Amino acid sequence: MNKQIAIEMKGVTKTFGSVIANKNVDLEVYRGEILAVLGENGCGKTTLMNMIAGIYYPDAGSIFIDGKEASIHSPADAFSYGIGMIHQHFKLVDLFTAAENIILGNHSGEKYNISKVSAEVRAIADRYGFHIDPDKKIYDMSVSEKQTVEIIKVLYRGADILILDEPSAVLTPQETDRLFDVLRKMREDGKSIIIITHKLHEVLSISDRVAVLRKGEHIGTVNTAETTAEALTEMMVGRKVELNIDRPAPENVQDRLIVKNLSMTNLDGIKVLDNISFTARSGEILGIAGIAGSGQRELLESIAGLNPLDCGEIVFNRPKKNLPVSFYHKSLADVKALAAEGKFHYEDGSAVDFTGKTNAEIRALVNAGKVLFNEDDVMNLRDKTPLQIREVGVRLSFVPEDRLGMGLVGNMDIVDNMMLRSYRKGSSVFVDRKKPSDLADRIVKELEVATPNTHTAVRRLSGGNVQKVLVGREIAAAPVVLMAAYPVRGLDINSSYTIYNLLTEQKKNGVAVVFVGEDLDVLLELCDRIMVICAGKITGIVDGRTVTKEEVGLLMTKTDSDVKKEA
Amino acid sequence: MKENAKKFELPFHVVKRSTIPVWKSMLFRVIAVVAALLLCSILSLLMIDANPFKFIVTMFDGAFGSSRRIWKFAKDACVLLCIALAITPAFKMRFWNIGAEGQTLIGALAAVAVVIHGKGLPNWLLLVLMFLAAILVGAVWGGIPAVFKAIWGTNETLFTLMMNYVATGLVSYYLLLWTPSGSSVLGRLDQGHLPILGHEYLLLILLVLLLTAAVYVYQKYTKQGYEISVVGESENTANYIGINVKKVIIRTMLISGAICGFAGFLIVGALDHSVAVTSVGGMGFTAIMVSWLAKFNPLIMIGTSAFITFLDQGAAQVTSTFNVDSAFPDMVVGIVLFFIIGCEFFIHYQLKFKTREEAAIPAPIKSEKSESEGGNA
């Protein structure tokens, strides 16, 4: 390997208020190598790279490029040093073609000549093995194609140090493999490539060296060939972490939520859910796998009553058999009518007959819990608002993808956020903060939420603690169905396991858990069944214990034409 | 191109503060007010040749110089506070109700209409009818933009603003109708006066203070108040937990309009005993400042409304004492508010000065500026 140093960081420190993002980091990047920057979420990987790319400026320390001290104040400065960064969120103009996006903002004083640019783009693509059509509009492109445009944009501007922030987060396993081939070709061409990631298997398969960060500090850099996944994990988290997720066998499985032929069109007129049918069962975790944006969010929001549907049914099977009747959801008239239909029985199994009994007697019997249901309740939740779903007594908990924008109110404290679900209880016009306050104390204690106190605004908490507050509240509502969308996104390993354990605990309690995840390894270890969706369609429902990662990966990218070929 | 590429760089970074102790933020505000008054004194020295010390003494004299002035100060502050209390729930919901002026005026008009058409009724009945008419009409005036916003998503800022002009137009029309001479000036009504409790303004002050407590409790301790906060912070969250956002928007604006109507009732029943297009006199807009400066906390609004009234009356006294143009008080109020709002920047951000070493590292020659210039050539 050519050992010429491209970038050297010496004593780089960056703080945000009282939070230290990076502390005294020394790091070297060589020419012609792929360096993986590895660390848990929130360990300062992205901040460190943003300082090289000119997004942030270090509070202390220096950066040397090719041995000379450099001051990188803006992305434009970074480009002048040949540094280009590909961010997680693409910055492309949808209405422009690939070539137009690539030339955008790149004023070299020459006359604008789009066909020349297209030819140059093709040349770069051929050189490294990209597949791209320079004249294709961005809005027609898949996520992987958009990423390709971002990479070529950086190469076109002459960057020879490329920083990729979690490049595989939005890609399927197959697309990731293709990307890695391209990166290897770039390395052979003498470019320096830095990839930020927290996926160990990718680090092992692509990088030459691995720099590990923990809590903003550089723990060490090792040669990939000389290390193992276990050793790297230990460096990342500071101690050995059990990688196995506990997965007890499902018990007492019953159909709980039956979704039939559900279709939905979003506000842009695009069909985001197409004929979705599946069953979520009690005592089981149903995983939903798919590339981000395949309709996972819309599916969960539809079940939660937030989206109007084109067609389909959401049938809820309420576990009521042998449970006492209450006046909480039924009026006396309802109870009498149902009794006349023979829907109830007494504790000893005999049929309930209210004929000849006064209303007071009936009330007394029901309130004493002596009248029991014969059968489970079946109801259609379609076109019910979240409030109506709750009013008919369906305890459906939902941990949405957007925690602070939907699940919680960022500016409110933990206590007031606890109240979101329960504040309506009781007939008083005043809110009762006593119970939410107790609940907040309990969640902070049991889930080890790091917070000064329960009157701290949740937006001040770190991502993992925000998620603990949200999941804790949703579980405290004693759900019958628990849906969680990307509940561990952005969380460190320890917080992630806390969440996995909470979900598994709910499953053991007989809750039907629906888990939308992005990390296939986790889905394969956590879920009993995995439903794969691609572009709003179900491409398969598989057994989580026997399926392989490649099989799920293939289902995630299965297109209409594939399905037709099989048929 | 390269010669002029050297970038201008500030010698400091602007850094967002994560937290600031309460005493420190209060200290900043006090410093801002003192600095503003100092600047005003200097300006008064330069422009109207008034001794700065005397200038400040005159300000205080204008607001608190005699018992009559103190009562007037308290009354004006309370009317302003009442209107500010009205818009606060709407603002808390991020519904930018800038139509308090019209909602108050139309409430006053309704109260006057009751007196004019209810001649001969006993005073207590008249007052009850005036009260009901004012809050009902005020609620309708606030409710119309809310219904449009909730159902068709119209812009509430424009809508509530336009409703002000409709209210003014209606008042002009009825004044023409009610004054046969065509003077459009309605004389003092001799009926529908609120009873006098010790001092002529005392009842009004007590009612507004009572209302302050009520709005405070409503916002902080009731379920409806909680719903307002949730809708204001995030409509997505409100939908997610099943709050009917449309209902909350309409309900809150009905309350907001009704309190404005109540302010109109007070203006007619306790103060003016008449109505004119200038009855509210811009207080509907000043109230936004009162509410905003207090961060929508009704208890703090007592202080902010008193402060703004103090500036108004103090500066008016300066005008008459030093015999200067009436634009001068406006300038004083403007300068002080500018300082107070400006100091919010320093409460939320701090400046970090660069060390010498950092500044010494030369920036690369090629900069964004030179690139864009190259592109234009």
Compute the average pLDDT of residues B110-127: 93
The domain B68-324 is placed in CATH, from the list 3.40.710.10, 3.90.550.10, 3.40.50.1360, 1.10.3470.10, at: 1.10.3470.10
Pair A437, A453: CB distance under 8 Å: no
Give the HSE-up count for residue A486: Cα atoms under 13 Å, Cβ half-sphere.
Answer: 17
Residue A563 has a CB neighbour count (10 Å cut-off) of: 12
The whole-number pLDDT of residue B155 equals 93
The whole-number pLDDT of residue A18 equals 61
User: And the tokens for A435?
Assistant: 């119970």
Secondary structure tally for chain B: helices H, strands E: 15, 2
- Is A308 part of the contact surface with chain B (CB cutoff 8 Å)? no
Whole-angstrom distance between the N-terminal and C-terminal Cα of chain B? 10
- For B186, residues 6+ apart whose C-beta sits below 8 A from its C-beta are B112, B175, B178, B179, B274, B275, B276
The domain A5-237 is placed in CATH, from the list 3.90.1150.10, 3.40.50.300, 3.30.300.180, 3.10.580.10, at: 3.40.50.300
Contacts of B367 in chain A (CB under 8 A): 74, 76-77
Maximum average pLDDT range among A485-499, B121-135, B305-319: B121-135
The sign of the torsion formed by the CA atoms of A534, A540, A545, A546 equals negative
Which residue bears the tokens 């709003």? A536
> How many Å apart are CA B49 and CA A402, to the nearest integer?
61
The whole-number pLDDT of residue B376 equals 37
Which residue bears the tokens 């280009």? A84
pLDDT single digits (tens) B175-203: 999 987 777 788 888 888 998 888 889 99
- What CATH code would you report for A245-319+381-395+478-567? 3.40.50.300
**Full strand arrangement of the beta sheet holding A217-223:** A83-86, A161-165, A192-197, A34-38, A209-214, A217-223
> How many Å apart are CA A17 and CA A1, to the nearest integer?
41
Pair B73, B317: CB distance under 8 Å: no
The whole-number pLDDT of residue B19 equals 72
Residue of B nearest to A304 (CA): B240
- Worst-scoring range by mean pLDDT, A312-321, B65-74, B201-210? A312-321
Contacts of A77 in chain B (CB under 8 A): 363-364, 366-367
**Mean pLDDT, chain B, as a whole number?**
87
| A226 three-state secondary structure | helix
> How many Å apart are CA A48 and CA A65, to the nearest integer?
15
Question: Which of B91, B214, B86 lies closest to B141 in space, CA to CA?
Answer: B86
Residue B22 has a CB neighbour count (10 Å cut-off) of: 7
Residues of chain B with CATH 1.10.3470.10: 68-324
The whole-number pLDDT of residue A266 equals 80
According to DSSP, the residues that pair with A281 across neighbouring strands are A255
In degrees and rounded to multiples of 5, residue B338 shows phi and psi of: -60, -45
Helix A143-156 to helix A114-128 angle (10° resolution) is: 100
* Residue A410, min C-alpha distance to chain B (Å): 8
Dihedral-angle region of residue A365 (phi above 0 means left; psi in -120 to 50 means alpha; beta otherwise): alpha
Secondary structure tally for chain A: helices H, strands E: 19, 22
Pairing state between β A529-534 and A284-289: parallel
Q: Is the pLDDT of residue B278 over 70?
A: yes
Contacts of B93 in chain A (CB under 8 A): none
Contacts of B226 in chain A (CB under 8 A): 416, 419, 423, 431
Dihedral-angle region of residue A300 (phi above 0 means left; psi in -120 to 50 means alpha; beta otherwise): alpha
Pair B284, B261: CB distance under 8 Å: no
Positions of chain A with pLDDT lower than 50, given as ranges:
1, 240-242, 560-567
> How many Å apart are CA A95 and CA B292, to the nearest integer?
41
Q: Would you place residue B280 in the very low, low, confident or very high pLDDT band (cuts 50, 70, 90)?
A: very high
The whole-number pLDDT of residue B8 equals 59
Task: Tell me the percentage of chain B whose pLDDT exceeds 70.
Answer: 91
Contact A18 B18 (CB under 8 A): yes
> How many Å apart are CA B373 and CA B377, to the nearest integer?
6
Pair A338, A377: CB distance under 8 Å: no
Contacts of A420 in chain B (CB under 8 A): 230, 237, 241
Question: Who among B18, B226, B236 is closest to A431 (CB)?
Answer: B226
Question: Who among B13, B233, B372 is closest to A411 (CB)?
Answer: B233
- Is A385 part of the contact surface with chain B (CB cutoff 8 Å)? yes
- Is A80 part of the contact surface with chain B (CB cutoff 8 Å)? yes
Residue extents of the structural domains in chain A: 5-237, 245-319+381-395+478-567, 332-375, 411-477
In degrees and rounded to multiples of 5, residue A340 shows phi and psi of: -65, -30
> How many Å apart are CA B353 and CA B15, to the nearest integer?
10
The whole-number pLDDT of residue B372 equals 38
- Worst-scoring range by mean pLDDT, A480-494, B123-137, B143-157? A480-494
Contact B366 A74 (CB under 8 A): no
